[in-house]
Amino acid sequence: MSPLSSYRNLFSLTGAIYVIIAFLARLPLAMSQIGALLLVSAVTGSYGAGGAAAGATAVVNAVASPLAGALTDRVGQRRVLLVQSVVGAAGLIWLVLAAASYTSGEAWWPLVLIAGASGAFLPQVGTMARVRWRPIARRSGRAEQRMVDAAFSYEGAADEASFVLGPALVGVVAAILNPSAALITAGVLLGVFGLWFALHPTATVVPKPDRSVAAVRLPAVLFVLVFAQLTIGMIFGSVQAGASVLATEAGEPGLTGLLHALLGIGSVTAGLAVVAVPEAFRYENRLRLFTVALAVLSLPLLLVSSIGGLVPVLVVLGLAVAPSMITTFTLAERISPPSRLGAAMTLLAAATGLGYAIGSSAAGRLADWGGYTPAFAVTIVGASSAAIISLAGARALRRAQSTRLPREATS
């Protein structure tokens, strides 16, 4: 079956409106981190402060998301997402108001704390959407695993597309108006589409919460994937920081979001094509191939000296990003017990956010010291680490797939 046919069949299970809602609802998370980076950097005049604010948003989200994911396993998605959408939107507006009252020379750490507080309630919509797809596919009566594979390929590409459109939207709004307007836009999107996603009927197809879920443990090998996602997150954070410094030095700070969005152009394209990979090509082998490609394709960043030179490097690097992420999430779904799938998916998403924080903070500090080249060196470290982890963990991942706990009966 061609990729186009696979996606046509997949989207027919839910209708186009759901796909649009789920995509728009994930934009605020992609917008919030770079929005915090630009806003705090602008009002304080420090890359380090901006990186710390973006990092705080990601770190606190990384800590809170697995807790929220585990809670959805117990009480269902709807109630958790409703609270996250309302409080998360309010948190982004709070950061804008705090930045508006900031005076040059004041301590900037309160802005970082507020950024972190907002990050605690930003929902991981992409992970919640992934949890919904298997029960949706099962109810359809079609080839379940093939439909789930198509769903995870789409969701990976959709996540990447959100990290293209999100930063691009921040860049456009910041250039036309200001960074505050960009974060307000993110808050409005979350308040509208986050709530809509929470209330959508697909939230009810997830198996009824199992009150004994605490007795089921996540497999230890899952943390191979967690660490792989953390290093991929480092790529996002460091590229964003390095692009911000390069654009600012070139006199075009408003291009930061657009430059970072370039990473997702190749990524979305490659991600959508992953569904065409033969099933015989085992998932752990795919992960090794894609992460090694990440390491190799990141090396040209050390040679970048202009905005024009950065453009093709980011587009090509993106070709390995979504396939790597799609494979880690697919492997996690294949080795995790269904009653803990919300926790497993959000744990991987949280690792991505934590990696973003590490990459953004480290690259920001190095940029204050030596400019964009040391910042991009963090990208290479992250990509190389992803390859090493995937190569070392391939055997354990293969065993986990063959000895996975039997899937629990679902309603």
Give per-residue pLDDT as tens, 230-241: 999 899 888 888
Q: Rounded to an integer, what distance in angstroms lies between the CA atom of residue 298 and that of residue 167?
A: 20
Residue 107 lies in a domain: yes
User: Is residue 229's pLDDT more than 90?
Assistant: yes
Mean pLDDT, rounded, of the chain: 86
Q: What is the pLDDT, as a whole number, of residue 335?
A: 87
Select the more confidently predicted residue: 117 or 305. 117
Q: What is the pLDDT, as a whole number, of residue 133?
A: 87
Q: What is the pLDDT, as a whole number, of residue 159?
A: 86
Q: Rounded to an integer, what distance in angstroms lies between the CA atom of residue 150 and that of residue 3?
A: 8
Q: What is the pLDDT, as a whole number, of residue 213?
A: 47
For the chain, what's the residue count? 411
User: Is residue 142's pLDDT more than 90?
Assistant: no
Q: 389 falls in which pLDDT band (50, 70, 90)?
A: very high
Q: Is 365 exposed, middle or buried (0-12, 13-18, 19+ CB in 10 A)?
A: middle
Select the more confidently predicted residue: 35 or 208. 35
Q: How much is the average pLDDT of 335-363? A: 84
User: Is residue 225's pLDDT more than 90?
Assistant: yes
* Model confidence, pTM: 0.80
Name the DSSP class of 45.
-
Q: Rounded to an integer, what distance in angstroms lies between the CA atom of residue 286 and that of residue 275?
A: 12
Domain span holding position 356: 3-402
pLDDT single digits (tens) 255-268: 776 777 778 778 88
Q: What is the pLDDT, as a whole number, of residue 81?
A: 95
Phi and psi, residue 338, nearest 5°: -55, -35
Q: 409 falls in which pLDDT band (50, 70, 90)?
A: very low
Residue 349 lies in a domain: yes
Cβ neighbours, 10 Å, residue 367: 26
Percent of the chain with pLDDT over 90: 34
Select the more confidently predicted residue: 197 or 179. 197
* Contact between 45 and 182 (Cβ < 8 Å): no
Q: 1 falls in which pLDDT band (50, 70, 90)?
A: low
The CA distances from residue 384 to 126, 178, 236, 285, 347, in Å, are: 26, 36, 14, 17, 22
Q: 2 falls in which pLDDT band (50, 70, 90)?
A: low
Q: How much is the average pLDDT of 322-351? A: 87
Residue 407 lies in a domain: no
Residue 228 lies in a domain: yes
Residue 151 lies in a domain: yes
Percent of the chain with pLDDT over 70: 93
Select the more confidently predicted residue: 195 or 37. 195
Q: How much is the average pLDDT of 348-376? A: 85
**What's the angle, vertex CA 159, arms to CA 156 and CA 165, rounded to 5?**
140
User: Is residue 209's pLDDT more than 80?
Assistant: no
Q: Rounded to an integer, what distance in angstroms lies between the CA atom of residue 134 and that of residue 136?
A: 5
**What's the angle, vertex CA 57, arms to CA 300 and CA 319, rounded to 5?**
30
**What's the angle, vertex CA 247, arms to CA 244 and CA 249, rounded to 5?**
105
Residue 345 lies in a domain: yes
Q: What is the pLDDT, as a whole number, of residue 129?
A: 92
Select the more confidently predicted residue: 83 or 369. 83
Residue 187 lies in a domain: yes
Name the DSSP class of 106.
S
Q: 378, 126, 114: which is closest to 238 by C-alpha?
A: 378
User: Is residue 411's pLDDT more than 70?
Assistant: no
- CATH of residue 99's domain is 1.20.1250.20
Residue 408 lies in a domain: no
Structural domains in the chain (count):
1
Q: How much is the average pLDDT of 151-158? A: 87
